[in-house]
Amino acid sequence: MTLAPPLTGGLDLPEARAAAETILSQFLERKRAEAAARHLSTEIPAALRDFLTAGGKRLRPVLCVLGWHAAGGTAPPPRPVLQVAAALEMFHAFCLVHDDVMDASATRRGKPTVHRAFADRHAADRYGPAADRFGTSAAILVGDFALAWTDELVHAAGLTPDQLARLLPVLDAMRDEVLYGQYLDVAAGGQPTDDVERAWTIIRFKTAKYTCERPLHIGAVLAGAPGPLLDELSAYALPLGEAFQLRDDLLGVFGDPAVTGKSRLDDLREGKHTLLIALALRDAAPPHKTLLHRLLGSPGLTEAEAAQIRSILTVTGARAHVEELIDQRRHAVLHTLDSAATLTPHAIPHLRHLADTVTRRTS
């Protein structure tokens, strides 16, 4: 997924992304050296380094930089802005590592998840359940370090007092929103229903606000954005974030694992309460509804049984309906950009390109 069109207005998003990655790499190397000097385990910074270098779209750092530019920030962004953008990726690592533990996921980005990697690495000295328990405990701590180091990156970025005062409330809101969204997701897991509104609420808090709206707001407030500009960014970001999650839900069930890097059984075995599933349960004929309730959330779900679920999701029209909802949100996003009154003009082509790639992605 390419997150940047040809350069306009001096914006170079690939360069900003690379700068954020360099900041993270240097930070984790410093943490590794500090741990080694104190005779502490270097596995924690190494695990985060491996996780962060295994792939990822870097969507949140890119959106943070775009928010900076949309509010009239200079190009290229100064180091403090890039370090805050990098901190958002560190926070995302915290979310994903803990999310994989909660979902008992075995793979992420085509590689073992952090808890599986720790369990496998220590299988020689810890057997069976003890290795799995150690892997889970270690991954929780890796996530905790990522959360703590997010704050360290932000507070050591060299922001002005005014920038920090504008940033912290938005950062706090983002953290609250995604954690409440994660709780709603966990609470609904294993008991999928036809509650469409509940599925939308999970999408809005776990993804739309966290993935798109708040990173844009963070970059914009660092540039001193006024309220109307933040409102326009929200009008762009919320439907984009909803489309992003709807596409993610489709890929989680129908995607090619060789492309997505994730199993397409995990969401079905977990019984994730997605909009895709809620629509299918709402519209399914009674025999299909009974079959969905029997199969969804089964830890031992086979590929043949998953194929049955996919067939029902298609026959009920749920899959096509979700595609239509993605298209509707793409059009809403483009309309916002067409009528934008406060966004810096040279940021708009990048925002437009991003909307297209995010909603049409295959991984």
Instruction: Tell me the DSSP string of 262-312.
Output: S-SSHHHHHT---HHHHHHHHH--HHHHHHHHHHTT-TT--HHHHHHHHHH
Name the residue type at position 76: P
Is the distance from CB of 182 to CB of 211 less than 8 angstroms?
no
Decide: 6 and 357 in contact? Cβ < 8 Å.
no
108 phi/psi in degrees, rounded to 5: -150, 125
d(CA 49, CA 37): 18
Q: What is the pLDDT of residue 157?
A: 98
**Residue 219, token pair as written in the block:** 């970059």
pLDDT at res. 2: 56
Position 6 scores a pLDDT of 46
Apex CA 57: angle with CA 96 and CA 247, to 5°? 80
Q: What's the pLDDT at 165? A: 98
User: 213: which residues sit within 8 A by CB, 6+ positions away?
Assistant: 233, 234, 237, 238, 241
| Furthest C-alpha separation in the chain | 64
pLDDT one digit per residue (tens) for the chain, 363 residues: 555 554 456 788 899 999 999 999 999 999 999 999 999 999 999 999 999 998 778 999 999 999 999 999 998 999 999 999 999 999 999 999 999 999 888 888 888 999 999 999 888 787 778 889 999 999 999 999 999 999 999 999 999 999 999 999 999 999 999 999 999 999 998 888 999 999 999 999 999 999 999 999 999 999 999 999 999 999 999 999 999 999 999 999 999 998 888 889 999 999 999 999 999 999 999 999 999 999 999 999 999 999 999 999 999 999 999 999 999 999 999 999 999 999 999 999 999 999 999 898 888
DSSP string, 227-254: HHHHHHHHHHHHHHHHHHHHHHHHHHHH
The tokens describing 329, both together, are 């949100």
CATH H superfamily, domain 13-360? Farnesyl Diphosphate Synthase (1.10.600.10)
Q: Which residues contact residue 243 at a Cβ distance below 8 angstroms, ignoring those fewer than 6 apart? A: 325, 326, 329, 330, 333, 358, 359
> What predicted TM-score, i.e. pTM, was given to this entire model?
0.93
CA separation for the pair 102, 96 (Å, rounded): 10
- CA-closest candidate to residue 159, choices 81, 226, 72: 81
> What pLDDT does residue 260 have?
87
How many residues would you count in the chain? Answer: 363
> How far, rounded to the nearest angstrom, does the alpha carbon of residue 344 sit from its chain's CA centroid?
26
Give residue 7's pLDDT. Answer: 47
Domain residues of the chain, as ranges? 13-360
